[in-house]
Chains A and B, each alone.
Chain A
Amino acid sequence: MSPFVTDNRIWDPAESMSRDELAAVQLRRLKETVARTANVPFYKQAFAERDISPDSIKSLDDLHRLPITNKADLRDHYPLGFLAVGREQVARFHGSSGTTGKPTFVAYTKEDLETWSGLCARFLVAGGLRAEHTVHIAFGYGLFTGGFGLHYGVERVGAAVVPAASGNTHRQIMLIQDMKPDALVCTPSYALTIAEVARSVDVDPRGLSLKFAHFGGEPWTEDMRKQIESDLNLLAFNNYGLSEVIGPGVSGECAARCGMHIQEDHFIVECVNPETLEPVADGEQGELVFTSLTKQAMPIIRYRTRDIASLDHSPCPCGRTTARMSRVVGRTDDMLIIRGVNVFPSQIEEALLRVEGTAPHYLIEVERPGTLDEVTVHVEIRPEDFSDKMSQMQVLRERIGREIVSVAGIRADVKLVEPQTLERFMGKANRVVDHRREQGQI
């Protein structure tokens, strides 16, 4: 375990206001948001159809009368159809990486940027950041919100930034060795790459100066956290956000690490069944839907994130009163349906990590040679797991297969492959090759 221990410092008193106060703030800000969006063509039309005006919002239950916004709606109004202010008021643009074609642009006023850095400061402080620290940021700086979002959050706290940006892992390791940062910011899979590359050049990743880390940008698992913490000898915190809602800062963990506190004075969260859009109970998995409450340039109403997680409204020992969300266990569009079973890549990852000695570098291949789906999980073997005994290697394969059945509920053919042969991903991990899609079978 890392020697690093955090106290319970809270950056903004708003994080611990009473639930009644919070509800009052939310209602007032929801009305303001409806007023601000009334001239955005998409919302103007939807409000007219539903007979909605700022004055018609009497309670938070009226949220359910408001229209849902999908990613496709943003795409249909590319690039700036959702802009709610004059272009002259925009201070910065960001964009989310479109997997196909064009990005989705988002915009910020000067006030939005202040709000955003404050939200990042909240979770950074909750996860141990103090003014005397130095933070190594290995997120991409560009349209992606991760780099700039965390950068200004760290500066807001008063700490120092090494804006290393993404790429060139050898150089990243050199910078960490020389600049001795206290904290690391990147994707969790990139943290594993840093540890792996460090070992390959005879640098002990546990001996680096890093004491804690804030990871985001992609789904990961609790087992992966354990591995990163052991590989790099640090305390790892999870944070969540997406550019359409604001970027990183939507939620983040406190020292209790029992879910990510959602900044509810700035966003209303719903967790719904992705098919019926009916709300699900606390603890049940559903799709997260967010409504921004304070954004000026591009407010968003009931945005379907396609991220699957659960909510928890029970009190947290840290003193914050906000609801917490679980890790994102998958995305509605990442979800694979294998012989009728819903499977998320994160479940395969969890299974692999449960088998001691299996590094989380893997690739899921799905095909339908006849009428039934078949899954092959390619797993990179690490030198320490390799045995000269055939029997032990077979046992390793069988254990992985059994864990996959136990976690994901499907049978998969496990193929052991040489290390460093599967592609490494800098950003959002894409670990699925679905031949059924290429073949037009799904």
Chain B
Amino acid sequence: MKINQLSVFLENKPGQLSEPCRALADAGVNILTLSLADTDQFGIMRLIIRDWEKAKDVLGKAGCVVKVTEVVAIEVEDHPGGLADVLEVIETGGINIEYMYAFTFRRKDKAVLVFRFEDPDAAVKLLQSKKISVIDSVELYDRAE
């Protein structure tokens, strides 16, 4: 039920974001969603890509530092309180969220969020026991394209 996410180290200097994006584009790799975290010193770009193994190879050859981490995609009701309900389950379950970000696509009244948990397996188990919809990679990629 986990999704592989790629993270790329970015130095804080002009052109640092476009270089990896251009490398992926040239290789015909489509980015499903991304999030950026940055400080005044450096940044981290996190990417969800269907063919992540190829993307990792492309980025590595382009000289990027790339790391693969497991994240969890969760379906959330797209109305006020939808996210709050999910977060409450996670918090009361004692699961730590490292960070989260959203997918740009949605279907009907559902949105999809990406969560990076300290312990993704425990998180998936908890969410499923509380009947919260965790989306596996096959379904996620189908929805996104």
Residues of A within 8 A of B11 (CB): 416-418, 421
How many whole Å from A438's CB to the nearest CB in chain B? 21
**Residue B1 interfacial (CB < 8 Å):** no
How many whole Å from B97's CB to the nearest CB in chain A? 11
**Residue B104 interfacial (CB < 8 Å):** no
Are B64's CB and A418's CB within 8 A?
A: yes
Distance between Cα atoms of A415 and B41 in the complex (Å): 6
**Residue B139 interfacial (CB < 8 Å):** no
**Residue B129 interfacial (CB < 8 Å):** no
Query: Which chain B residues (41-79) contact chain A, with CB distance < 8 Å?
Result: 41-42, 44, 46, 63-67, 69
| Contact partner, B37, options A381, A390, A419, Cβ 8 Å | A390
Interface size bracket, B side? 10 to 19
Are B69's CB and A388's CB within 8 A?
A: yes
Are B66's CB and A390's CB within 8 A?
A: no
Distance between Cα atoms of A383 and B41 in the complex (Å): 18
Distance between Cα atoms of A382 and B9 in the complex (Å): 10
| Contact partner, B41, options A388, A416, A421, Cβ 8 Å | A416
Are B65's CB and A386's CB within 8 A?
A: yes
How many whole Å from A422's CB to the nearest CB in chain B? 11
Query: Which chain A residues (346-398) contact chain B, with CB distance < 8 Å?
Result: 381-383, 386-391, 393-394, 397
| Contact partner, A386, options B9, B41, B116, Cβ 8 Å | B9
For A390, A394, A397, A421, which residue has the most chain B Cβ atoms within 10 angstroms? A390
Residues of A within 8 A of B7 (CB): 386-388
By secondary structure, the B interface counts as: strand
**Residue A168 interfacial (CB < 8 Å):** no
For B5, B37, B42, B98, which residue has the most chain A Cβ atoms within 10 angstroms? B42
How many whole Å from B37's CB to the nearest CB in chain A? 5
Residues of B within 8 A of A420 (CB): 63
Are A389's CB and B98's CB within 8 A?
A: yes
How many whole Å from A162's CB to the nearest CB in chain B? 32
Residues of B within 8 A of A382 (CB): 65
Query: Which chain B residues (1-51) contact chain A, with CB distance < 8 Å?
Result: 5, 7, 9, 11, 37, 39, 41-42, 44, 46
Residues of B within 8 A of A418 (CB): 9, 11, 63-65
Given A386-B9, A388-B5, A389-B98, decide whether A419 and B65 contact each other with a Cβ distance below 8 A: yes
Residues of B within 8 A of A383 (CB): 65-67
| Contact partner, A388, options B39, B42, B46, B63, Cβ 8 Å | B46
| Contact partner, A416, options B42, B63, B66, B67, Cβ 8 Å | B42
Query: Which chain B residues (81-122) contact chain A, with CB distance < 8 Å?
Result: 98-99, 116
Chain B residue with Cβ nearest A383? B65
Residues of B within 8 A of A421 (CB): 11
| Contact partner, A393, options B5, B44, B66, Cβ 8 Å | B44
Given A388-B69, A420-B63, decide whether A381 and B41 contact each other with a Cβ distance below 8 A: no
5 new A-B contacts, CB < 8 A, other than A387-B67, A397-B41, are: A388-B46, A390-B99, A415-B41, A418-B9, A421-B11
5 A-B pairs within 8 Å (CB atoms) are namely A383-B65, A388-B67, A388-B69, A388-B116, A389-B98
- A interface list, Cβ under 8 A from B: 381-383, 386-391, 393-394, 397, 415-421
- B interface list, Cβ under 8 A from A: 5, 7, 9, 11, 37, 39, 41-42, 44, 46, 63-67, 69, 98-99, 116
